[in-house]
Amino acid sequence: MKTAALVLIAGILPGCIGQSQCKENPKVIAACYVVHGRLTLGADTIRLRIWPVGTARMLGVTGGPIPDDADAPIAPKSLSFGPEAYPIYGDFKVCPFTPERKGEMQMVCIESATHLILAKH
């Protein structure tokens, strides 16, 4: 299972995910932090989303502070979905582009991801 997960993780939105230049991005407004969550594909403007496990929050992975920046999300190239787009659980080091506000999706980039598990349903 781990081998299959690594194969599927290696390659989501291949033309859209930029190189991980997250932490040094001048649009980052605060310190980066690690969140244990589920990475999925969304169906609207924000295609990449992280749900921090145990919360009602949602993080939108973008290239900047506005939803239009979602066309070029900043995340490691190693994060990708296979044709089935199964969710990926793991520990994601994210850097915020927007402050955390109740009831709003916080925009972030992904600096790194570890302990990845492909969740086949």
68: which DSSP letter? G
Q: Tell me how many domains the chain contains.
A: 1
Place of tokens 């994060």: 79
What local confidence, expressed as pLDDT, does residue 121 receive?
A: 66
In angstroms, the CA 101 to CA 43 distance is 22
pLDDT in tens, the chain (121 residues): 443 443 334 344 433 444 458 999 999 999 999 999 999 988 888 989 999 999 999 999 999 998 888 888 999 988 877 777 889 999 999 999 999 999 999 999 999 999 999 887 6
pTM: 0.80
What local confidence, expressed as pLDDT, does residue 107 receive?
A: 96
What local confidence, expressed as pLDDT, does residue 71 receive?
A: 86
In angstroms, the CA 114 to CA 121 distance is 21
Domain that holds residue 24: 2-118
